[in-house]
C-alpha cells in the first residue's frame, strides 16, 4: 500500500509561484507513473501532469504548459510540481497520484491506483 502526502499549498497572489511536494512511502516509488490532478470547487477532478517512472516522458494539460513543471526524485521518493505565473483559475485542491499503468500518456483519474489527500492552492486576483 502506497501512501502519498502532499505539501506546499497555500494562498498566493496572481502571478506568484508555489512549489508542491508529494512524499511517497510504503512502496517502490520508481515502479509508478506519478501525476498531479486538481479539483476546483464545483468541478470534476482533472489531470494536470504526469511523469514517467524515470522522468523521460512528461505530459501537461494545455492550460498549464509553460507555467508548471513537474519532476521527481526517485532516491527521495518525492514528486514535485513547480507552479509559476499562477492564475485565479488555478485555484483548486491539488492531488498527488500514483499509477501502475504502462504509459503516462492519456492517464485519467480511472487509471490511478493511489491518491494523496490533497493540498489547497488559492490564487487571489
In our burial notation (b when 16+ CB lie closer than 10 A, e otherwise), range 64-84 reads beeebbbebebeebbbbbebe
> Based on the number of CB atoms within 10 Å of its own CB, is 12 exposed (0-12), middle (13-18) or buried (19 or more)?
middle
Predicted confidence (pLDDT) per residue in 62-95, tens digit = 999 999 999 999 999 999 999 999 999 999 999 9
Cell of 40: 476546483
Predicted confidence (pLDDT) per residue in 4-13, tens digit = 999 999 999 9
Sorting pLDDT into bands at 50, 70 and 90, what band is 55? very high
Task: Indicate the pairing of strand 119-124 with strand 10-13.
Answer: parallel
Cα distances (angstroms) measured from residue 70 to each of 19, 41, 42, 83, 106? 10, 23, 25, 9, 16
Amino acid at each position: 500500500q502506497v501512501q502519498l502526502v502532499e505539501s506546499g499549498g497555500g494562498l498566493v497572489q496572481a502571478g506568484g509561484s508555489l512549489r508542491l511536494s508529494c512524499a511517497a512511502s510504503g512502496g517502490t516509488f520508481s515502479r509508478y507513473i506519478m501525476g498531479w490532478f486538481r479539483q476546483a470547487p464545483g468541478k470534476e477532478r482533472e489531470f494536470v501532469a504526469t511523469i514517467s517512472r524515470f522522468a523521460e516522458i512528461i505530459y501537461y494539460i494545455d492550460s498549464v504548459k509553460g507555467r508548471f513543471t513537474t519532476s521527481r526524485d526517485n532516491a527521495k521518493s518525492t514528486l514535485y510540481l513547480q507552479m509559476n505565473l499562477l492564475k485565479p483559475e488555478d485555484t483548486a485542491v491539488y492531488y498527488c497520484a500514483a499509477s501502475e499503468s504502462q504509459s503516462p500518456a492519456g492517464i485519467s483519474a480511472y487509471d490511478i491506483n493511489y491518491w494523496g489527500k490533497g493540498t489547497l492552492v488559492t490564487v487571489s486576483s
